[in-house]
Structure 1
Amino acid sequence: MNCRHAIMQHSIWILLLLIAGTAGAQPAYKGEAAPKLTNQATWIWYPGDFEIWLGNNMQNRRTERGSFFPPFWKLDNHYVLMDFHKDVEVTEAEQIEVLVEGKYILKLDGKGYEGMPQQVTIPAGKHRINVKVFSRDNVPAIYVKGKTIASDSSWLVTYEDKEWIDETGKTSDISATTWLNAGSWNFNEPAQRPSAFRLAVQPQSAVTTTKDNGSLLVDFGKETFGFIKLHGLQGKGKLSLYYGESKEEALATGTCETLDRLEVNQGSKTDSLMPLTKAFRFVNIQAEGGATVDSVSMLYEYLPVANRGSFRCSDSAINKIWDVAAYTLHLNTREFFIDGIKRDRWIWSGDAYQSYLMNYYLFFDRPTVSRTLMALRGKDPVTSHINTIMDYTFYWFLGIYDYYQYTGDKTFIRQFYPRMQSLMDYCLSRRNAAGMMQGLPGDWIFIDWANGLSKKGEVSFEQLLFCRSLETMALCAGMVNDTKNAALYKQLAADMKAKLFSIYWSDAKHALVHSRVDGKPTDNVTRYANMFAIFFNYFDSTQKQLVKQHVLLNDAIQKITTPYMRFYELEALCAMGEQKYVLNEMKSYWGGMLKEGATSFWEEYNPAKQGAEHYAMYGRPFDKSLCHAWGASPIYLLGKYYLGVQPTSPGYATWVAEPVLGGLQWMDGKVPTPQGDIEVYCSTTQIKIKGSEGTGTLRFKSQKKPVCKGVVINSKGNNAYEMTVEAGKEYVINYKN
C-alpha cells in the first residue's frame, strides 16, 4: 500500500472515530430489573452476544513487535440466527420504523411481509411483532421505533424457536423455546449500529519533542493510550515507530514490546494516523531514506465514564496515590475491564474481578461489569477454566456475588444462571476422589507471580475460592427458584468449608497451611488462603487474631510483591482494624512507584530493584506492564475501609458506614450507589454523613459521648456508637476520635 492510499484510509478512520466518539457514553441504570426504556428505542440483541462479539474483536488486536498475538483460550461466537418478538396493544394505527443488522423477515401476528420492509403500519388492537434475523459477521440486532412501540429490554429473544408444522400446515401451539429479555446497552439512535461501535477519541499534543538527525523522541508526559498521528509526512522511505512506557523502552529499538512500520511515498506534506492503538508515554520515530515528519500528536482513546466516587484527606501523598489509581483504572476501563493497556489487552478474570470492586467505588458503571462477565463466560459447552486458570473461574463466580450485592440486579442472574450452572458442573466434574479441586492436565493454577510458590497437590487457596463459589451458586439458585440445587450447593459449600479447617488448619502454625500433597498437609504457610479467609469471615475471632500475628504481620512468611495480591493482603488487614498500618503500607508501596517516576501503577513492584530493572518481567527487559488494572486498589481500600461504606443488603437497600481515619486528620469523599451517592466527611472531632438512598447505619468510636441534633445515638459499649441514617438527610455528629 502506498502512503497516499494509507493516508486516505487513515483519514476515513479518523472520521469514523470522531463520529462514534460518544458511542461509549454510559446510561444510568437504576433499580433491580433490566432497564425499561419508556418510548426510548434502542438497538437490542441476544444477551451476551454483542459482548462476546466485541470481546473477540478487542482481544485479537494484540500485537507483539508487529506480530499478531491471539488469546490462549477458546473464543466463542455469537448466534447467527435470532428471533425477536414483542406483544403490543395500540389504541390507534401506528407506523413503526424497523432497522436491522442482517437479513430478516418481519411478521405481524404470524404473517410475513414481502421483502425486508423498513416501515410497517401496526393496526389498532393487540398484536405480536416478530423479527427473525440472520447475520454471520455481526451480531443480529434490531431497532424498532414508533409512537408508543420501541425496541428495548422488554422484548423477548431466542436463538431457536423450536416450532414445528403438521401435515395440514398448522404450526405448534406449545413450544419448548426458552425466551430471554433482549440485551442492550446505549445505542439509542438509528445510526448507532452496534457493529459500528468505537470508543471515544480526543486529540492530545506531545509535551516535549527531541529531534536528532531526522529522528524524533516524543514525550506525552504520562502513560497514555491511543493512535499516534504524524504531521507533515513527506518523502520516500520508511518510518519506524518504537513505543515505550518508559524512555528506556522507546530507545531500545531491538527489545521494545510494540512498534509500527510505515512505508512512505509522498510528494507533498500530509498527515497520517497509525491504524492500531498503543500504550505509551514515549515514542521514538526513526526515519530511513528520504522520509521526513514535522511533528507528532495523538488521538487519546477512552471509554467516557465519569468519576462518581471521590476521596480527599489531610495527607497529600495519599491524595496523589488516589488520583494516579483513578487514572490507572480509567486507562484499563475500555470496552471491558482489561488487565493492562500495553501488553495483553485481554480480559483476564482475576484482573477484572478487582476492577469490578474498584469500579463500585469510582464509576459505579454497571454495563462494563456485566459486559466483562458475559464476555469472560462465553458459551456452552465448557471445555476449560476461564482463561484456562482454575482460580480465575472462581473469581468469575465471586464477581457475580459482588455484582448482586452492589447493584441489586437480579435480571442478570436470572438470565445467566444456566451458564453459571454449567460452569459449576464443569468444576464439580474435575474434583478428585476426595472431593477437592486439584490441577488436572490443561489447568493453570496461577494464584500469584511469586518465586517458588508451589502449585502441587490440593492447594488450600483453591479450595477456599471453590467454597465461596458454591455459596454464590446457592444464593443464585435460590433467586431463580431452583430449590433442589440451592440445597445441594449449600451443602457442598458447607462440606468444603469443613474440609478447609479439618485438613489445612494447623494449631502449631496458627494458620491454614498452603497445600496437601499425596494426602498429607504440608508445613508451608503462605498468605493467600489466610488473608481471604479473614474478609470472607470464615475464621472465628480467635483465629483472625492468630492469623494477623503469625501470618499477615510476620516477615518470615514469604512477602507479596504484586499489587494484585497486595490488594487482598491490605484488605484483610483493614478488615482487622489495621487502617493505620495499611495507610503507611500504601504510602510506602504505591508511593514507592511514584518516586520511581510512575504516572500509572504497575503490574509488579519490588523496591529492591534499581532503575531499568523495574521494567523487566517474564524474561524480557520491557515486558512488565506499567499500567495495570490491579495496581489501582487504593480506590477500593479507601472507599470501603476508610470512608467505611459498603452495602449490607443488595443494591444499598441497607448500608453501613464505619469511617476510620487510620492516622489521618480528616477525610472527605463520596461512594456511588445505584441511585445516588453516600457522602462522608470525618475529622478527629466531627463526622458529616448523607445518603441518597436506602437506610444507612453509621458506626464509629468516640472517647466522649457524641452529639447529633435531633438524633438518638446508641451506645454499643467500649466507646462504640451507632445511629440510623435516613435517605436524603444530612447529619453532623460532634465526637472525639
Structure 2
Amino acid sequence: MGLQGRAQPGRADDQLTRKLITPVRIVWKSDQGKIANAERLLQPGNGQADLGNRNLCVMQSTREGNPGILLDFGKELHGGIQVVTGLWKGNQPVRVRIRLGESVSEAMSEIDTVKGATNDHAMRDFETKLPWLGRFETGNSGFRFLRIDVLDGDVTLLLKEVSAISIYRDIPYLGSFRCSDTLLNKIWQTGAYTVHQNMQEFLWDGIKRDRLVWVGDMHPEVAAIHAVFGHNGVVNKSLDLSRDITPIPGWMNGISAYSMWWILIQRDLYLYQGDKVYLAAQKTYLAKLAAHLAGKIDANGAEILDGNRFLDWPSSEDPKAVHAGLQALMVLSLSAAAELLTTLEDQAAARICTEAVTRLKKNVPPVNDSKQAAALLSLSGLIPAGEGDRVISAGGAANFSTFYGYYMLQAMAKKGNYTGALQNIREYWGGMIKLGATSFWEDFNLAWIPGAAGIDAPVPAGMKDIHGDFGAWCYKGFRHSLCHGWASGPTPWLTEHVLGIKVIAAGCSVIRIEPHLGDLAFAEGFFPTPHGLLKVKHRKLGNGKIESVIRAPKGVKIIRG
C-alpha cells in the first residue's frame, strides 16, 4: 500500500463535488496601473497553464499605482478560487491581495471597525503569491464577488483564467414548486439553493460565517431539505454531533431552546423518513433531555430555563417575549418527546412529558405584541390562532425575521390567512431578491429598503449600503451573512400550504393533500417521500373551487383535506 491518508470515520467529504465557475461580468477595474484584455477572464478555460501565452489578461503595476479588478460569478456560492497564470519576465511569483465578498461593497471593503468586515470563521481577505506559469487555488468561504489587487511594484501579472471553485453536494432537486406567480417560484428556488449551499460536511447556518452547526437554525433548514431533497445523511450527522458534544445537563449551543429544537427536528425526521432504527439510537439521550426539561417548571407552571435564553436576535432584548416563546417551545418539544417516547415504548418517560405539558398549559404568558411570541404561542395552542394572527399580521411583514418568519407564516396558516402569508413572503423574502440576493440572508428588515442600493453593484453616492450600513447584534455590517440556512422557511411553507402536502404518519405513509392557493391561479410540484415522488397539480376554477390532480407512489395513502 502506498502513502495515503486514512479516512476519518463519520466524515462526508466523499459526498462533496467541486465545479469551476467562470465569471459572468467585470464589475470594476482600478484606474491605477494598467489592465488590458480583462474580458479574457469571462471566457471558460481548461485549468491548464501553457506556453502559448496568447490572449491573456495583463495587470501591470506602474508609477501611478497597482491595478485591481472585481469579478462577479453570478450567484452566491461556497468554495474558493482557481487562478491560472502566464509566462512573464523574471520567473518570480507576484504578490496579490484576494478579497471575496457576498456583496460588491464587501469585496471592496477593508477589515476595520467601520463596517464590520472580518475574516471570522473563513479567510475572505488575505495576501498571497501567484506562481509564474502555473495554477494556484485558495479560499474557503461563501462569496459571489472576487477582487484581485497586484501588490508588488513594477511587475506584470498575466492571467489566463480566474474561476470560482464551487464546493457542493451533487444531489438532485427532487422536490419542486411552480405557480402563477413567478416571484414566489423564485423565492421557493432561492430558499432551496440557500439550504443546499449550507449542506457541506455538516449542516451549517452560513457558508461565510458562522459555518457551524446551530441546532435551532437547523429546524427550518431540515424542513426545506425534506421538501426539496428528501432524506440526506448530513441531517442525522449534524444532529448526532450536537448530541455527542452536549452531555446533559448542558444545552445544545449553550441555548435551552436549541435543545428543544433538537427534539422537534427528531420528531419531524421520524415523521418524514420513518427510520425507527435511527430514532431508537436517540432513546437514552431523548429521555434524559425530556426529564431535564420537565424539571425546569415552577409551581405555577412557568418555565424557568437557564442557560442562554434565546429565540432569535430581533426578540433577544425583550425578556417577556423570550419567556412567552420558551413557554411555548416547552409545550411543543415535550409534546413531541412524548410522541417519540411512546413510539419507542418508554411509557414512563412519555408520562413525564405529558404531565409536564399539562402543568405548562396552566400558565399562558402575554404575547407582549411580539410576532415571535405570538407565532410560538399560537402553534403550541396556548393562545387561539386568531389572536396569534392578529399580532403577526399587524403591519404586514414589518418586524418579520429571517429565522422566525417561518413560524410566523405557520401561525398565519393555522388561522387560515394564506393570502396574507403569501403577501408577506413576497414583500419580505422578495425584498431581498429585489436587492440582488441569490440566497437568503441572516437578517433583513423592511425598514432598511428606502434609499438602499442592491448588493450587486457599487453603492452610488447618496444611497445606503444594504450590506455594510445595516445589521445588529452579532452581524453588524459586512459580518452579516448573505447565505443563511435559517432563512429558507418559505420553501417548505409553500410546499406544505400552497401545494397542500402535509405528512400525517411516519415515513410519509399517510399524507393529507389540502391546497390553499390564496390569490394564485394554479400551483404544481413534486414532493420526495421514502416511497418515491408525489406529484400534485392544482387549478382554481371560475367558481373558486380547486381542481386537483394527484399522483402518489405506492405505499403512500392520500387523504384529501
1:575/1:641 contact within 8 Å kept:
no
Q: Could you tell me whether the CA contact under 8 Å between 1:366 and 1:407 is conserved in 2? A: no
| Alignment-derived partner of residue 585 in structure 1 | 424
* Bigger radius of gyration: 1
SS at match of 2:78: strand
Gaps of at least 5 residues in structure 1 are: 1-14, 17-99, 102-137, 140-183, 185-193, 505-512, 515-523, 700-737
| Structure 2: unaligned runs, 5 residues or longer | 34-66, 454-463, 542-546
Residues 659-712 of structure 1, C-alpha deviations (whole Å, 9 max, x = no match) = 11111111111111111122111111332111113211113xxxxxxxxxxxxx
Does 2:226 align with 1:360?
Answer: yes
Per the alignment, residue 696 of structure 1 pairs with: 558
Separation of aligned partners in 1, 2:394 and 2:246? 45
Say if 2:397 and 2:427, in contact at 8 Å, map to a contact too: no
| Alignment-derived partner of residue 290 in structure 2 | 424
Cα deviation for residue 247 of structure 1 reads 0.6
Q: Is it true that 1:300 corresponds to 2:166 in the alignment?
A: yes
- Give the direction of change, closer, same or farther, for the CA distance of 1:565–1:384 in structure 2 (3 Å limit): same
Match of 1:568 among 388, 402, 407: 407
Q: Give the drift of 1:339.
A: 0.9
Structure 1 residues 400-479: aligned runs within 5 Å = 400-431=266-297, 436-440=302-306, 443-450=307-314, 453-455=317-319, 459-479=323-343
Percent identity over the alignment is 27
Q: Distance in 1 between matches of 2:397 and 2:79?
A: 39
Q: How far off its partner does 1:345 sit?
A: 0.7
Match of 1:554 in 2: 394
SS in 2 for 1:252: coil
Q: Which amino acid aligns with 2:24?
A: V
Residue equivalent to 1:482: 346
Distance 1:391 1:622, change over 3 A: same
SS of residue matched to 2:319:
coil
Counterpart secondary structure, 2:442: coil
1:216 pairs, out of 69, 90, 101, with: 69
In structure 1, how many angstroms separate the alpha carbons of the residues matched to 2:253 and 2:287? Answer: 18
Offset, 1:422: 2.8
Letter of the 1:603 partner, please give it. E
> Could you tell me which of 109, 117, 122 is aligned with 1:252?
109
SS in 1 for 2:177: strand
Distance in 1 (alpha carbons) for counterparts of 2:321 and 2:426: 37
Q: Note closer, same or farther for the CA distance 1:485–1:621 as it changes in structure 2 (3 Å cut).
A: closer
Distance in 2 (alpha carbons) for counterparts of 1:671 and 1:460: 34
Change (3 A) 1:620 1:545: closer
1-side partners of 2:525 and 2:475: how far apart? 42
> Residue 596 of structure 1 aligns to which amino acid in structure 2?
L
What are the superposed Cα offsets for residues 508-567 of structure 1, whole Å, 9 maximum, x if unpaired?
xxxxx14xxxxxxxxx3322333224334455xxx3224333x22334x99523221111
Whether the 8 Å contact between 2:301 and 2:362 is mirrored in structure 1 is no
Instruction: Identify the residue that residue 44 of structure 2 maps to in structure 1.
Output: none
> What is the 5 A alignment of 1:189-204?
197=14, 199-204=16-21
Select 2:442's aligned residue among 566, 584, 603. 603
Post-superposition Cα deviations, 1:385-423, rounded to whole Å, max 9, x if no partner, equal: 111112111111111111111111111121111122233
For the residue of structure 1 that corresponds to 2:403, the secondary structure is: helix
8 A contact 2:498–2:515 mirrored in 1: yes
Q: Distance in 2 between matches of 1:412 and 1:343?
A: 30
Is 1:642–2:505 an aligned residue pair? no
The change in CA–CA distance for 1:572 and 1:435 in structure 2 (over 3 A counts) is: closer
Residue by residue over 1:423-463, the C-alpha shift from the partner in whole angstroms, topping out at 9 and shown as x without a partner, is 334434555565643353xx212212226732269812112
Q: Match of 1:281? A: 144
Partner residue, 1:133: none
Q: Residue type of the partner of 2:126?
A: R
Which of 620, 624, 629 matches 2:485?
Answer: 629
The answer for the alignment partner of 2:98 in structure 1 is 241
- Does the 8 Å CA contact 1:236/1:291 hold for their aligned counterparts? no
Distance 2:249 2:350 in 1: 24
Say which of 168, 177, 180 aligns to 1:314. 180
Matched-pair contact (CA < 8 Å) for 1:340–1:629: yes
Please say if residues 99 and 107 of structure 2, whose CA atoms lie closer than 8 Å, have aligned partners that are also in contact: yes
Q: How far apart, in 2, do the equivalents of 1:571 and 1:381 lie?
A: 32
Contact persistence 1:305–1:365 (CA under 8 A): no
Q: Does the CA-based 8 Å contact 2:297-2:360 persist in structure 1?
A: no
Q: Scaled by the length of structure 2, what TM-score is found?
A: 0.80
Higher alpha-carbon deviation: 647-656 or 559-568:
559-568
Find the residue that maps to 2:479 and give its secondary structure. coil
**TM-align CA RMSD:** 2.7
Contact 1:438 1:457 in 2 (8 A): no
Question: Match for residue 237 of structure 2?
Answer: 371
In structure 1, distance between residues paired with 2:345 and 2:357: 19
The whole-number CA distance in structure 2 between the counterparts of 1:333 and 1:580 is 32
State the Cα distance separating 1:369 from its structure 2 match. 2.0
Query: How far has the Cα of 1:328 moved from its partner?
Result: 1.4
CA gap 1:579/1:272 in 2 versus in 1, 3 angstroms? same
- Which structure has the highest strand share of the two? 1
Confirm or deny: 8 A CA contact 1:379 1:419 kept in the other structure. no
Amino acid at match of 2:17: A
1:485, CA displacement in angstroms?
1.8
| Structure 1 residue matching 2:318: 3-state secondary structure | coil
Q: Helix, strand or coil: the match of 2:533?
A: strand
Q: Is the 8 A contact 2:270 2:276 kept in 1?
A: yes
Are 2:143 and 2:208, in contact at CA under 8 Å, matched by a contact in 1?
A: yes
- In the other structure, the counterpart of 1:149 is none
Q: Secondary structure at the match of 1:334?
A: coil
Change (3 A) 1:468 1:638: same
Q: Is the 8 A contact 1:590 1:601 kept in 2?
A: yes
Does residue 338 (structure 1) correspond to residue 213 (structure 2)? The answer is no
Change (3 A) 1:669 1:285: same
Q: Which residue of the partner structure matches residue 466 of structure 2? A: 614
Preserved contact between residue 418 and residue 518 of structure 2 (Cα < 8 Å): yes
Question: CA separation in 1, counterparts of 2:517 and 2:150?
Answer: 55
Is the contact between residue 242 and residue 253 of structure 1 (CA under 8 Å) also seen in structure 2? no
Aligned mate of 1:206, from 23, 26, 36: 23
Work out whether residues 301 and 359 of structure 2, in 8 Å CA contact, stay in contact via their aligned partners in 1.
no
Question: Which secondary structure state, in structure 2, belongs to the residue aligned with residue 230 of structure 1?
Answer: strand
State how far apart, in whole Å, the 1-side matches of 2:491 and 2:415 are: 19
Question: 2: distance between equivalents of 1:314 and 1:599?
Answer: 21
Aligned counterpart, 2:369: 525
- After TM superposition, list the pairs within 5 Å mapping 1:146-225 onto structure 2: 197=14, 199-209=16-26, 210-212=28-30, 213=33, 214-225=67-78
Q: Which amino acid aligns with 1:687?
A: S
What is the CA–CA distance in structure 1 between the aligned matches of 2:531 and 2:400, rounded to whole Å?
A: 38
Deviation at 1:578, TM superposition (A): 1.4
**Corresponding residue for residue 47 of structure 1:** none
Cα distance change on mapping 1:595 and 1:565 into 2, 3 Å: same
CA-CA distance at 1:238 after TM superposition: 2.1
- Shift, 1:642, TM fit: 0.6
In the alignment, the residues of structure 2 paired with residue 431 and residue 240 of structure 1 have an alpha-carbon distance, to the nearest angstrom, of: 55
Q: CA deviation at 1:483?
A: 2.2
The whole-number CA distance in structure 2 between the counterparts of 1:458 and 1:672 is: 35
Q: Distance in 1 between matches of 2:397 and 2:436?
A: 27
Per the TM alignment, residue 652 of structure 1 is displaced from its structure 2 partner at its CA by 1.8
